[in-house]
Amino acid sequence: MTTPALSIDGLSIDYVVGAGRFHAVSDVSLDVESGHVVGIVGETGCGKSTLAQAIPRLLPEPPATIGGGRILFQGVDLVKVPRWKMPTIRGTGISMIFQEPLNSLNPAFRIYDQVAEAVHVRRARESRPGGLVRADGAPFDYSKLPAPRAGDTIAGHFIPGGVAQDAVHRRQVERAAGGTPSEVREVVLDYLKLVRINDPETILDLYPHELSGGMRQRIMIAMALCEKPSLLIADEPTSALDVTIQAQVLTLMKELIREVNTTILFISHDLGVIAETADELGVMYAGKLVEFGPVAEVFASPRHPYTKALLKAAPTRYKTDGPLLSIAGSVPNLSRPPPGCRFHPRCPIARPQCTVEPGPPLAPVAGAAPNHKSACYFPEEVPGIP
Amino acid sequence: MGRSPSDLAVFIGKRLLQLVPVVFGIMILAFVFTHISTVNCSVWFPHASADTLSHCEAQFSQPILSQFWTYFVNFLGGNWGASVTGVAVYPAIATGVPATLELVFASLFLMIVIGIPLGVIAAQSAGRWGDHLVRIFYLTGWATPTYLGAVIAAIFLAPYLGLPSHGEYTSSPPPFPQYTHFSVIDAMIALNPHWTVDAFAHLLLPASVLAFINMGIATRMTRSSMLEVIPLDFVKSARMKGLSEFWVMYKHALRNALITTTTVLGVTAGGLLAGTVVIEEVFGWPGIGAYAYTSIGGGGAPPNFDGAVAVVVVFAVGVVIANLVADILYGVLDPRVEWR
């Protein structure tokens, strides 16, 4: 087995609000194999978006605090990387597509400027010695990154050389790479064509508010891809779109997954979306990863009572046999989660041992695929739940 | 309606037309408030000659409406009247406006280059010591009365820093022609480095005091609109591009936060103009602020009714134009705004 592209180990994230502590993500461990698409599903508030945004350290800290664990990305523990160094890992290392395409493009800049900026970042990295060259598969060597520059810190705002360096450097890069504005424009056009935009020349000169939601999401995808990231995080990329556009963007994503060889962490609350795109599936409940395994097997024979209940509650297209099923009870308050297995108050097969801390660990399931894991003491009983 | 240059021209034209009723209204108000009390010429101008007194009585004995009509017709004809002692108003204002504009622009410049970055720093360190230091700085300015700040700067700071605290130049008038009446620009036109430095040195203290007192608005607005913008998704996507925090803040976030700050700065221009009245008097700056002060009888001078009305009208035009510029900038900065 190769080293995973992303390896999350025992990650816990709390939100500290006033005197309260909300355990948004508790002890999540997850491996994303290189080149795979891993889907994460769960209800609203189960911590899946927090998990997604914690990987590139995008969460505002405070109120979020990483309570413990490691996020290993290409041999670097991102939890320990100082904040000022994160920009060198974002972009060409990890890119992200957000949920709300209406808000994720800057309303004040033209489309061209926003996409070209991403192209510039990649070029600057590629030409910088010891930078994050990965398009050719060369390893990412964190130790060879340049030392902090004055412009990277708040105190360095007015230090000469700190800020100006970036612009000078960019011009040098452009000259060295023969990158004239018109050539950058070609690259941007290529990526807009890649995301199936019909009239890219016109789109380039428009502002985000002049485009539809689906169009903006395509541009977000183009922007994320043109940095050639080794890990792409899609945080509910289709949830905010209406159904027909959702289908179009999803088709695009599926086609791109085949065309662009990259690792994807796909966050969604829509089981159908995950079923169509992902290789592996992780199910989250109340901040914990309760089941993880190959998509087909998890769908066919779930080994955690919550997954089973979730699959039963999912609406199918032509459901005519009565009302939709719902899971009895309600999602626990994350400031005081139930002891032991967090699903036990709603679980049909719960026993006294389920209420004892620290609850069942995520462990391989006997008699299932080798990478199929479940956080339940009785995975063999789950198929028998009516 | 859209965002083509012709739309912008129509927009500016419309706003300039709105200027006409506003100026007329201001003129009526200023005229009524200065002329409504009974003017007893021999009491107000005890040292005036008999000739001047009879002229004064002839002017002020008429009904106020007919006084206004005379003033208004003359004003439109370019005759802005004269003080009772016969000093014409128009030349004084024509040379005073550039001096005041120079002061206002200099302090606006300081407010922008210091106040806005301070607001960004305050927003970045919201709730931490950086935020508190910035708040102490701008609240100190905000809470300082203009007269107090100006006097402290002129009496204590000026000798301590070795800066001049009176007038536009060390000797007035300077030994070169004053084409524009902007002191720094005139010295530059004369290609005279010594006098250019001299003009800058004279401008520094009054402009700094005016900026320091009004800085709070720029800083506070930048801080609060940055705090609104920073949690938005496009700031996250800028971060995800791998841009350094500096570019995320000063390019992506500030560009959007400036939309509100600009609007407020336009309104602040009125405050700056009001501040010039005291600042110019204290620093002996030959602008219309000092002229306004002497026109209403400040410093024991005999009141100058025509001058006071004209100064108020010029100030009003200045405020309206500042707001128009802010409106245009608002439309330029925010591509979602349509010009209409």
Q: Given a cut of 60, is residue A45 above it in pLDDT? A: yes
Do A163 and B246 lie within an 8 Å CB cutoff?
A: yes
Mean pLDDT value of segment A56-63: 80
For residue A363, give the H/E element and its range. strand A363-364
Q: What is the rounded average pLDDT for all residues in chain A?
A: 76
What is the number of helices (H) and of strands (E) in chain A?
A: 10, 12
For residue A69, give the H/E element and its range. strand A64-73
pTM of the model: 0.80
For residue B116, give the H/E element and its range. helix B116-124
- Summarised one tens digit per residue, pLDDT across range B105-149 is 999 999 999 999 999 999 988 888 999 999 999 999 999 998 999
Do A91 and B238 lie within an 8 Å CB cutoff?
A: no
Angle between helices B254-283 and B116-124 (to 10 degrees): 130
Q: Given a cut of 70, is residue A384 above it in pLDDT? A: yes
Establish, for the pair of chains A and B, how many residue pairs have beta carbons separated by less than 8 Å. 102
Measured between beta carbons, which residues in chain A are less than 8 angstroms from residue B231? 60
Q: Does domain B95-303 have CATH number 3.40.50.1370?
A: no
pLDDT score for B115: 92
Rg (CA), chain B: 23
Chain A residue with Cα closest to B230: A60
pLDDT score for A317: 61
Chain A residue with Cα closest to B232: A103
Do A90 and B121 lie within an 8 Å CB cutoff?
A: no
Q: Token match 């991102």: residue?
A: A78
Can you read off the two tokens belonging to residue A3? 């080293």
Measured between beta carbons, which residues in chain B are less than 8 angstroms from residue A87? 239, 242-245
Q: Which of A57, A106, A227 to mutate to test the interface with B (most CBs of B within 10 A)?
A: A106
Measured between beta carbons, which residues in chain A are less than 8 angstroms from residue B252? 106, 109
Measured between beta carbons, which residues in chain A are less than 8 angstroms from residue B232? 103
* Inside any domain, residue A85: yes
Give the other-Cβ count within 10 Å of B130's Cβ.
Answer: 17
Q: Given a cut of 80, is residue A129 above it in pLDDT? A: no
Whether the CB-CB separation of A269 and A283 falls below 8 Å is answered with no
Residue ranges of domains in chain B: 95-303
Burial track B95-120 (b if 16+ CB lie within 10 A, e otherwise): ebbbbbbbbbebbbebbbebbbbbbb
- Summarised one tens digit per residue, pLDDT across range B166-190 is 888 887 777 788 888 888 888 888 8
Predicted confidence band of residue A11 (pLDDT cuts 50, 70, 90): confident
Do A87 and B244 lie within an 8 Å CB cutoff?
A: yes
| Eight-class DSSP state of B297 | T
pLDDT score for A2: 66
Mean pLDDT value of segment A144-173: 39
Q: Token match 């009446």: residue?
A: B181
* Inside any domain, residue A272: yes
The CA dihedral of B102, B103, B106, B110, to the nearest 10 degrees, is -170
Three-class secondary structure of residue B64 per DSSP: helix
* Inside any domain, residue A234: yes
Chain A residue with Cα closest to B336: A209
The one-letter amino acid code at A92 reads T
Nearest to A260 by CA among A89, A32, A37, A52: A37
Give strand ranges (E) for chain B.
none
Chain B residues interacting with chain A (CB cutoff of 8 angstroms): 117, 121, 124-125, 130, 231-234, 236-247, 252, 255-256, 259, 333-336
Do A223 and B243 lie within an 8 Å CB cutoff?
A: no
Q: Which of B227, B237, B262 to mutate to test the interface with A (most CBs of A within 10 A)?
A: B237
Residues of the domain holding A200: 6-282
Measured between beta carbons, which residues in chain A are less than 8 angstroms from residue B240? 56, 58, 90-91, 94-96, 224
Predicted confidence band of residue A382 (pLDDT cuts 50, 70, 90): confident
What is the distance between the alpha carbons of residues A340 and A330, in angstroms, rounded to a whole number?
Answer: 17
Give pLDDT < 50 ranges for chain B.
1
Q: What is the ipTM of this complex?
A: 0.76
What is the distance between the alpha carbons of residues A242 and A237, in angstroms, rounded to a whole number?
Answer: 12
| Eight-class DSSP state of A84 | G
CATH code where residue A97 lies: 3.40.50.300
- A152 vs A273 pLDDT, higher one: A273
For residue A21, give the H/E element and its range. strand A20-32
What's the structural domain count of chain A?
Answer: 1
- A86 vs A281 pLDDT, higher one: A281
Shortest Cα–Cα distance, A83 to chain B (Å): 9
Q: Given a cut of 60, is residue A160 above it in pLDDT? A: no
Nearest to A262 by CA among A60, A95, A89: A95
pLDDT score for B55: 79
- B296 vs A180 pLDDT, higher one: B296
Predicted confidence band of residue A148 (pLDDT cuts 50, 70, 90): very low
- Summarised one tens digit per residue, pLDDT across range A272-327 is 888 888 888 888 888 888 888 888 888 888 888 888 888 877 776 665 666 767 77
| Eight-class DSSP state of A197 | -
Measured between beta carbons, which residues in chain A are less than 8 angstroms from residue B130? 154
Angle at B180 between CA B176 and CA B181, to 5 degrees: 75
pLDDT score for A132: 38
